[in-house]
A and B are shown apart, each in its own frame.
Chain A
């Protein structure tokens, strides 16, 4: 038995000898990992080879940033690399058959760390610190990450990246940041958990982006941003609801209305303005800072038997601009409109194969959080958005059959208006419909 095993090993070793392998097998997979800024090799990075069949293989780069996998090249294999403080771009690199060496670019990433204290100097715990990047609109890549909020002038946009929370010492740390210009904002994460005159504060002690100090972050740099929450008294805004939303609740149904003042220059997705709940058709906002807002009201309805509100749906709503001066405002009358549906049609650009598409809605109003519905287009490209909540809505699209084949929104028109970039205000007067044009990636991964 032992004899037979040895014979088999001998035969196998003959087949695996270098000369045979060079003659018969594709070349092994090797390459190097380099710092994309300096061009220097990155030693001690770990490298992973993922193959269509079999387990992944792992190795590390040597002092010269070089790595090698002692396996033949196979179709569909890809390589990824990791090293603390770096990010691979692109995140995964396909192994091309016949290539001699793979070069992996690693970008040194920056960090912004700091501390948030309240007006009394007490560390603020559990505060989401929003990291906003100021980015030229021209650098926006189709299908490449989140779209930004355009700044006045149209050349730049603000992109919300992430929001680490402060610990019990008020400390936060945001890592994996590209070189660029950043703003840092201490947000009020828990609604009604700050005293009313504590304000969402931009680094270092500013109430808005225009007064905030930008942070220029170089590749691999660590910057510090300490923030002290600004205290500022506001005014009171009082009013009442009118119209069918409050006049005619059907028997066996329950309605309630929530209202929000959303700052018109709002770069923070989850940091809207004051919030109020209408009781007996009356509402009141307290401690509102003067400025330009959008008042959003949403009347939800459910069966009276559904006590805990699991079957809530949006029934009435309104979105209306409002200027708050530096004195109290009384007598505001808000008439929510019945919410309906918006039909639309999707067409594909020339050269793109039509596919079923899932349409998602993002609202700038926290009132609709978690409730914004989705829709899917049919074979004829038609879809209907139902149950939308009021606010400024933006549409997003994914390929409903496979997320691996992305679609690229080229145009979204509501009636005659182009609304792809800025979204549209809902509800709106009239019966406009949506017309969407989508593009796709060509075989060589170029958008078309």
Chain B
């Protein structure tokens, strides 16, 4: 995997990461540890994607709003998979906009107008893709 290394203490999502789909809503954030997050972009696709990373969902709709109605099930299925693989319950968050997030806590899914931000952001290959910056592109 071709990945540039950035040694700056604070940096935003690179063009390379953005081209792979990072920073665009909707996405899932997995809390790896204190202030360390992994971002999983969600892509609704109709054909095989090229150059994107994240979670791919086959969709029959062109309309993003129609697709959004399935996101809670998609996030729950993803959480089930990573919980099963890791052997413990992961804390994840489904982020829909700069002011909309659904936090999957111990026994509930809690809506919040505050979304995860800052810290160290990883992609699903465990590469650092941003630090101390918002997790989305404006």
Partners in one complex: no
What residues of chain B have their CB less than 8 Å away from a CB belonging to chain A? none
What residues of chain A have their CB less than 8 Å away from a CB belonging to chain B? none
